[in-house]
Each structure stands twice: as C-alpha cells, then as structure tokens.
Structure 1
C-alpha cells in the first residue's frame, strides 16, 4: 500500500455514510487520479490476478460516488495489520 492508505482509512473511519471522492481529494490534498488508483488497490476489485484486500467500497450516492470503509477496513485499522 502507499503512504496515502493510512490517512485515507482513518478519514473514512469517522464517516459512517462515506465521503464523496471530490471531498476526499480536497481533504487529502491529492488529485482524483491518485485517489482512484489508491481506492483500486485497497478496494474489493481484482486487478490482474490479485484481489484487493476489500478495505474500502466505492458506491453511487445520488449523482456522486462515495468511498465507504468496509468491516474489513475497520478491522485493518483496529489490528494495524498490513498486507504489503
């Protein structure tokens, strides 16, 4: 994972309903492309032959997309285990 993983997970932990992707970019000070790449790596989707850890889910919320911390992501924050 990247240096963005920890702050992203911590930010999502405080938001039960998730956070919109533009708001996450602003709060984290990163471009949308960087955020989307990070979400892909720590999300639930498979990239190539590697399944993501499933810590975050991106879902539609009206006209926007929000990132939501999954139970797996909450467990990751509680235990501090890293998969990298």
Structure 2
C-alpha cells in the first residue's frame, strides 16, 4: 500500500492548479494535522535546521488554502 506521502504527491499531481486542504484531507482519509505535517515536511521551509525538498507549497486563494506541487524549475 502506498505511503501517505506517495498518495499526497499523486493527488497533487492530478490537480495542477492545486486542491483545497479540506478536500485533500477527505481524498486521503487523514486528519488536517497529518496533512499539515506532510506538507511541512515536503515544503521548502527548514525543519530542524535542514531545508525541505521544496516539492509542495500552500497558497491562500481567497478564503481557501490550496496545496500544489512546485514546478521543477521553481525549486
């Protein structure tokens, strides 16, 4: 069975314009806290002094937070 990280990346790949965090939680069957941890781990921010891989980002679109993959040339 694919890991949460693999499933998350697959869902984001299906949504090039991004997907709202609540919808992503529902599709993955995980709590928001789990999703936020995964997004933080895969994002570009430093955790424990180590830079993240910068694979995903979360943007505010109006009143929604939307997760999306980061294009390879933007990393």
Question: TM-score over 0.5 for the alignment?
Answer: yes
TM-score, reference length from structure 1:
0.79
For the residue of structure 1 that corresponds to 2:66, the secondary structure is strand
TM-score, reference length from structure 2:
0.88
CA displacement at 1:48 relative to structure 2: 2.0
Unmatched segments (≥5 aa) in structure 2: none
Matches within 5 A, 1:22-61: 22-61=22-61
Give the distance between the partners of 1:64 and 1:20, measured in 2 at CA.
6
Matches within 5 A, 1:57-76: 57-72=57-72
RMSD across aligned positions (CA):
0.8
Give the distance between the partners of 1:42 and 1:70, measured in 2 at CA.
10
For the residue of structure 1 that corresponds to 2:53, the secondary structure is coil
Unmatched segments (≥5 aa) in structure 1: 73-84
Give the count of matched residue pairs. 70
**Runs of 4+ residues over 4 Å off in structure 1:** none
Give the distance between the partners of 1:69 and 1:31, measured in 2 at CA.
20
